[in-house]
Structure 1
């Protein structure tokens, strides 16, 4: 190689003006990346060709910056050298990685040489690559509990040894000591919380002070769902809710019908003075699908069902009659209409609203960052006392709610005082 023709030599041969132009281009790209990362926006567009009217957030932001600054405009995009525009995808990725390293370094400095807890969760991304999310939980110099997301680590497999190796690599990269760990927090998977061979056990062998704590809110969700599914009637109730979501929520047309009918009812009640109006009140609501791992989602779904019940019934009647939805959807709508006009449905709806409402308040309290284990146990105890009180003294109030709902929607109410004939 000829030294005079090397890239290193050629770069330093450039005059100060060329170097200054390069710095302006680089700063423009850095500023665009900084803004998009702060706002959590995507960088690339669907079509970044020369003739595209929308090249994506990054290129459009650089273009806008150039339009607002004449100095930048002279040296970026089409006015920059073709091999030095500083907008290529790899350049964007490199700058984003630099920001990530700076953020991680600041987190490590914030933790300092003090003790901290390790929170880990595993999940596959949209491309089915298994990855591990790592979060640090610690107390800063002002005695404030903080949780900082450190990053995602790709793992080839989800065995406990593989996960431990990934954690070790991360600690070694940033100069962290396993001896500083004072807590571990994972989900309920056996490879994570296993007492003998899980990630929890492997870390405890190195640091006996790294106590494992299963997320209280997640445990509560698992218990509530598991107990509910043990009762066939309750499980059947939630299965009907899923069918309802498939019939009503799977079509944009039917969802719009629910929203429009609900809007009209709100307007009518507002004119009659039955409900209050003002900023933030009477917002548009939607019927969301519950999930086993989404805390409190079942409770929110049932609340929406109560709010939208009249509108949902009207849409189901439309689906039952309308032939364009096919015979299967019509049969489902017919079955749902029959079930929703039964005493059993109303009873289980009000019962689950009552129970899930109590556990929902507990779940929110358990998810607070400043929650400590002693207060958490006290909250669990008080919630159990509430449930005991409902079991002993809550029957009358529950039946009154069921009776009121049946009366509002003309559903046949089961009279408890009637005599029961065992022969029939």
Structure 2
């Protein structure tokens, strides 16, 4: 649960979902976004973004051919567009929570129960962002646009597909960005959580915390042990479960 390999798998899944969504949104154009994740001694997480404007501007002026120069020009325009700003803020919010979970799981003093509580909390946070986080995301995006001179989009106006500007979308900007961008990404993340931490797996890991030797096996409780036994119906019949409850009760009292 707390192994670096599992943490990397989870982080890679988050990144893949978000990056694929952005790539699909911009029509497959290639751009370079370097995100530097770091935490200083005070555990204050920082997300520093480096946009390679100078490289792109160089290619725009001195590219090998018209195609390269045109592509660089288009990417420069996109990096200053509302659409990019919106997706960048969405990505930073999600990766911020994913990074916080990863840091928690890497702490050596975390036991299984605490780790599962962190996973549950992060999953609930993603659900909360999906259901009620739109206003906050929208306000942060608008604030960034105002600060850096990026043109806002009116959420009530019709959404215009940047690659097909003449085609009618019959969708408002609000419908596109909330229902076509934000919700699908968060839905995929929640599905990933449910696949990796299904109810059965979560219950199993939680019940196994009963065997944690911390504080002289303080979590070695009858209810947890019985719940664990229920997860193995082929090993414990209904009659054996009743006997097990009595036997464990006596054992715990005498340990």
Structure with the higher helix share, 1 or 2: 2
TM-score by length of 1: 0.31
Which protein has the larger Cα radius of gyration, Structure 1 or Structure 2? 1
TM-score by length of 2: 0.49
> Structure with the greater relative contact order (CA < 8 A, sep ≥ 6): 1 or 2?
2
